[in-house]
């Protein structure tokens, strides 16, 4: 009989496991990429404040209705943006969150209607 010894070291996962999607705008993390979903409805974002840490972020925009298309763009640093997303559609963009601070994001075609929000980057 051969005694099989696990050769992979500890079986301990370095991951704390998937955290449930927070409702407060704090990004969850998968494969080292922070992921956050922002809903656009009528002329507002929900959540209107998104909290991340420096590093890669995948931003998913869901248009929940109200008729108008919406996009999502950070205005305070260069970043990929989510292009116009029609009613019922979901689109995404990835960008790298910069040093800690508070940055603004907008729907570029509805900024005047107050369709703005805050991207808060916390220190690691
Ligand atoms: Cu909009």
For the chain, give every domain's residue range.
28-121
Q: What is the pTM of this model?
A: 0.78
Tell me which residue has tokens 């909290």: 51
Ligand 1 center to 69 CA (angstroms): 6
Ligand 1 center to 67 CA (angstroms): 10
Q: What is the pLDDT of residues 20-78, one digit of tens each?
A: 445 578 888 877 899 999 999 999 999 999 999 999 999 999 999 888 999 999 999 99
Q: Residue 93: its pLDDT value, please?
A: 97
Q: Are the beta carbons of 10 and 26 closer than 8 angstroms? A: no
Quote the tokens at residue 108: 């570029």
Q: What is the pLDDT of residues 76-100, one digit of tens each?
A: 999 999 999 999 999 999 999 999 9
Ligand 1 center to 11 CA (angstroms): 47
Q: What share of the chain is helix, strand, coil (3-state, %, to 5)?
A: 0, 50, 50
Q: What's the pLDDT band for 14 if we cut at 50, 70, 90?
A: very low
Ligand 1 center to 15 CA (angstroms): 36
The set of residues, in sequence order, having a beta carbon less than 8 Å from that of 93 and lying 6+ positions away, is 58, 59, 61, 72, 79, 80, 81, 82, 83
Ligand 1 center to 36 CA (angstroms): 18
How many C-beta atoms surround the C-beta of residue 57 within 10 A? 24
Ligand 1 center to 78 CA (angstroms): 20
Q: Domain 28-121 is in which class?
A: mainly beta
Q: Are the beta carbons of 39 and 107 closer than 8 angstroms? A: no
Computed on alpha carbons and rounded to an integer, the radius of gyration of the chain in Å comes to 18
pLDDT higher than 70, residue 5: no
Q: What is the separation of C-alpha 56 from the centre of its chain, rounded to a whole number of angstroms? A: 9
The set of residues, in sequence order, having a beta carbon less than 8 Å from that of 65 and lying 6+ positions away, is 41, 42, 87, 88
């Amino acid at each position: 009989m051969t005694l099989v010894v696990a050769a992979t070291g500890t079986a301990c996962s370095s991951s704390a496991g998937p955290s449930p999607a927070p409702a407060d705008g704090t990004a969850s993390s998968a494969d080292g990429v922070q992921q956050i979903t922002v809903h656009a409805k009528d002329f507002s974002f929900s959540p209107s404040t998104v909290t991340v840490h420096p590093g890669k972020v995948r931003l998913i925009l869901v248009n929940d209705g109200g008729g108008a298309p919406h996009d999502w763009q950070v205005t305070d640093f260069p970043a990929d943006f989510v292009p116009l997303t029609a009613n019922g559609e979901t689109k995404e963009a990835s960008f790298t969150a910069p040093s800690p601070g508070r940055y603004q994001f907008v729907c570029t075609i509805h900024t005047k209607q107050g369709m703005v929000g805050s991207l808060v980057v916390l220190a690691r």
